[in-house]
């Protein structure tokens, strides 16, 4: 008998019951509100845009919007770009990629900070890196960083039917939550030393 496996399953069951009685019956994790130190200001919509991925061709984005993000790493110019691509059983899954414009406002050099992929229920989800190992993904059972406060975090297999065993955790937002996407991208870039 594997006592640790039984203990882990019991903890998950207790968490589900507590969430259901606390009004979070959708299975999403929610925590006490946290203050995010990154301020984000919209700078205007720009329409269509293309980006050349290193070594893999050009991708067309049907809409983009500029943002200015200000946090511990200073003021950064960011573009949120939307496209459709095949993923997890669908040929046209919408996604938003948060790009950092490196250099001045005339620079054509961009670096992708994070990507939010359309879930099966129409929300958008991005991976959550492990703070101590930012190239690895946070998994169910890992401690959530404080920044997720009252934000929605769910398992990949709860978001995408085509993933049967996906214990990685994803930060989930609505399509209109581009400022949250930018904040998440800024946090990911900070963890990965991308400034």
How many CB atoms neighbour CB 68 within 10 A?
Answer: 14
Beta strands 39-45 and 63-71, pairing class: antiparallel
The helix/strand/coil state of 180 is helix
**What average pLDDT does this structure show over 16-20?**
52
Helices (H), the chain: 3-21, 156-159, 178-191
Could you tell me the CA-to-CA distances from 76 to 131, 149, 181 in Å, in that order? 21, 24, 14
**What average pLDDT does this structure show over 111-129?**
96
In the chain, where the domains are located: 1-30, 36-191
| Best-predicted range by mean pLDDT (51-60, 142-151, 176-185) | 176-185
pLDDT at 29 over 70: no
106 burial class (0-12, 13-18, 19+ CB within 10 angstroms)?
Answer: exposed
pTM exceeds 0.75? yes
pLDDT of residue 25: 45
Q: What is the mean pLDDT of the chain?
A: 86
Question: pLDDT (tens digit, 9 = 90+) per residue, 34-62?
Answer: 567 899 999 988 889 999 999 889 999 99
pLDDT at 32 over 70: no
Burial 75-89 (b: 16+ CB within 10 A, else e): ebbbbbbbbbeeebe
Could you tell me the CA-to-CA distances from 153 to 11, 54, 65, 127 in Å, in that order? 17, 31, 25, 10
Question: pLDDT (tens digit, 9 = 90+) per residue, 125-140?
Answer: 999 999 999 999 999 9
- pLDDT above 70 covers a percentage of the chain that reads 82
- Confidence grade of residue 90 (pLDDT, cut at 50, 70, 90): confident
Question: pLDDT (tens digit, 9 = 90+) per residue, 149-166?
Answer: 889 999 999 999 888 888
| Cα 182 from Cα 41, distance rounded (Å) | 10
pLDDT at 15 over 90: no
- Confidence grade of residue 170 (pLDDT, cut at 50, 70, 90): very high
């Amino acid at each position: 008998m594997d006592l640790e496996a039984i203990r882990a399953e019991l903890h998950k069951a207790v968490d589900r019951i507590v969430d259901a009685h606390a009004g979070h019956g959708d299975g999403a994790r929610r925590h006490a509100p946290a203050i995010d130190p990154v301020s984000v200001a919209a700078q205007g919509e720009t329409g269509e845009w293309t980006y050349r991925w290193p070594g893999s061709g050009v991708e067309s984005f049907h809409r983009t919007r500029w943002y200015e993000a200000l946090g511990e790493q200073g003021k950064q110019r960011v573009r949120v770009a939307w496209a459709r691509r095949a993923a997890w059983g669908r040929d046209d899954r919408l996604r938003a990629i948060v790009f950092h414009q490196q250099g001045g406002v005339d620079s054509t050099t961009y670096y992708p900070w994070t990507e939010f992929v359309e879930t099966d229920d129409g929300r958008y989800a991005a991976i959550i890196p492990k703070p101590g190992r930012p190239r690895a993904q946070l998994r169910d059972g890992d401690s959530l960083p404080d920044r997720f406060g009252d934000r929605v975090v769910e398992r990949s297999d709860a978001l995408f039917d085509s993933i049967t065993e996906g214990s990685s955790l994803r930060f989930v937002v609505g399509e209109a939550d581009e400022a949250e996407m930018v904040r998440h991208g800024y946090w990911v870039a900070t963890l990965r030393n991308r400034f």
